[in-house]
Amino acid sequence: MEISSQELQQMDERFRATLINSLPGFKCLQLVGTMGSNGHSNLGIFNSIFHVGASPAYLGMVFRPGSHDHDTLGNIKRTGIYTFNNVLEPFYTKAHQTSARYDTGCSEFVECGLEEFFIPNFDAPFVADSTVKIAMQLKKIIPIELNGTTIVIGQVMHILLSGKLLGTDGYVSHETAGTLTTSGLDSYFDVLPIARLAYAKPDQPIKVINNI
């Protein structure tokens, strides 16, 4: 099957959105926690988080067009802080429910049955049951004129890991953490590890670090 850009534009809008959202394959899945202006916590599910750099430690995320009135983006702009929380199988349906359009001022933690967690001197909420929690500080907002999306780049301020998830070489074991991934907007997957490979060099054969 071959689909041209012209054929894409002629497709039903929802069909095209589902196609393009699922086209890149598996993506990072996170619950983003923020604090509303009324003091109520806010939580939304995102699959657009990406690595920007390690020194300083920056992570980015993409907001779709029309997000100027989105509670998550508005809260990030106002407070400058937010959290990333991995999604686990025991609560993935509740995580999915946070994508519903609740009224501004409602707490998705309450509406979807998820427990808040806070750390001292950081006022954005974490998801208590997440095994990988990341506290973020806003660094830059980049409007993308090409299609009306917005890129938000933040710096990692705190990392909270449950159990023995951090390896001696710095590797975070998401397979042990139980982290789920996603394809498209509504499909959730467990991860089945194969192996970790050593840093590739042109004059050396590929070496397996360990069988995960």
Kind of pairing, strands 208-210 and 132-144?
A: unpaired
Residue 6 burial by Cβ neighbours in a 10 Å radius (0-12, 13-18, 19+): exposed
For residue 52, the model assigns a pLDDT of 95
pTM, full prediction: 0.90
How crowded is the C-beta side of 65, counted as CA atoms within 13 Å?
6
Torsion over CA: 36, 68, 134, 155 (sign): negative
From the options 3.30.70.600, 3.90.79.10, 2.60.120.200, 2.30.110.10, give the CATH code of 19-210. Answer: 2.30.110.10
Sign of the four-CA dihedral 137, 33, 55, 170: positive
Domain ranges for the chain: 19-210
Q: What is the pLDDT of residues 81-96, one digit of tens each?
A: 999 999 999 999 999 9
32: pLDDT strictly greater than 90: yes
Q: 33, 125 in Cβ contact below 8 A?
A: yes
